[in-house]
Amino acid sequence: MSNPIARTPWLVRGLEITGCCLGITGAMVLSLKVTGFEYSWLLLTLSSVATSAFAFYIRAWGLMTQQLFFTCCNSVGAWTWLILPALQSGNVSIPGLS
């Protein structure tokens, strides 16, 4: 059986590297709780989406399932720490959501 990663196109390899870098950055920002740490949830969500796409391409179904779950969890974090506070502060309005 051949190695599916060895023959992946550069764009797919880019998904792997992008997911890795965004995940590492998001985790560090979140763990250090620096100013603007709330935006780490966006980095983590994008990381999970990129890694899910990579896993789908190489047919790593377990990894893809895990990353899709992480995408859901990170989206909840983005909602809780970014979107909901912005809506509650009155600085942002979404038509039909009020």
Q: Is residue 23 part of a domain?
A: yes
Q: Is residue 2 part of a domain?
A: no
What is the full per-residue pLDDT of the chain (98 aa) written as tens digits? 566 666 668 888 899 999 999 999 999 999 998 888 999 999 999 999 999 999 999 999 999 999 999 999 999 999 999 889 888 887 766 666 55
Please indicate, yes or no, if residue 96 is contained in any of the structural domains: no
Distance CA 13, CA 37 (A): 28
Residue 76, in any domain of the structure: yes
Q: Is residue 15 part of a domain?
A: yes
- Whole-number Å distance between alpha carbons of 34 and 96: 34
Q: Scanning the structure block, which residue is given the tokens 């909901």?
A: 84
14 domain-assigned? yes
Residue 42 lies in a domain: yes
Q: Residue 39 and residue 50: Cα distance in Å, rounded?
A: 17
Domain of 45 in residue numbering reads as 10-89
The reported pLDDT for the residue numbered 13 is 87
pLDDT recorded at residue 94: 63
In a domain, 97, yes or no: no
**Among the residues of the chain, which ranges form H helices?**
10-32, 40-58, 61-78, 84-89
In whole angstroms, give the CA distance from residue 28 to residue 25: 5
Q: Which two tokens stand for residue 80?
A: 């809780």
| Predicted local distance difference test score (pLDDT) of residue 7 | 66
Looking at the structure of the chain, the number of domains it has is 1
